[in-house]
Amino acid sequence: MLVCVVCWGIKLSIDYNRTAFVKPNVHCEHCGPINSLEEIDDLLAPSIIILNEKGYTTQACCSGHLLHASAYIMFRPNVKISDFLSAPKGFDFDHSLWSAQFSIRKYFGTLPTGELFRKQLQSALDVLEWAEKLSTKQ
Ligand SMILES: [Zn+2]
């Protein structure tokens, strides 16, 4: 999902001829000619928008892949684990060994494809519910 990381508006991906993972050469009509558009994991994008609007700035995320069975959201250094009362259902706080940043992460384990996909979808919903309940970051 294409999202402006300045105003957190969802944008249409208008150039379908481009190779995946190449940033589209388009600007946010609201924010003007700055490079503010990012592709964000479709299943987590609604939660990522809410988190950033509430001040929990994010660095990266993934809802999981069928061959890489974990979901995570990595936060920027200004966000601390102590900013949260708890992680989303089934997730743990995961400290990186090589930086001060942390993630929330959930491992799905080895499962049949359909079961794994259901768990990924449910986890994305659990993250959304968690993000919606958070207070604005102080
Ligand atoms: Zn914008």
Average pLDDT, the chain: 88
**What's the pTM?**
0.86
122 and 55 share a domain? yes
Query: In the structure, what pLDDT confidence band is assigned to residue 10 with cuts at 50, 70 and 90?
Result: confident
51 and 79 share a domain? yes
Report the C-alpha gap between 105 and 91 in whole angstroms. Answer: 5
* Centre of ligand 1 from the C-alpha of residue 112, in Å: 40
- Write out the residue range of the structural domain in which residue 81 sits: 41-138
33 and 57 share a domain? no
pLDDT tens digits, 80-138: 999 999 999 999 999 876 777 899 999 999 999 999 999 999 999 999 999 999 999 98
| pLDDT given for residue 25 in this prediction | 56
* Centre of ligand 1 from the C-alpha of residue 108, in Å: 34
Q: How many domains does the chain have?
A: 2
* Centre of ligand 1 from the C-alpha of residue 35, in Å: 10
Contact call for residues 79 and 73 (beta carbons, < 8 A): no
48 and 116 share a domain? yes
Residue 30 in tokens: 């609201």
**Residues with CB in 5 Å of ion ligand 1:** 4, 6-7, 28, 30-31
95 and 112 share a domain? yes
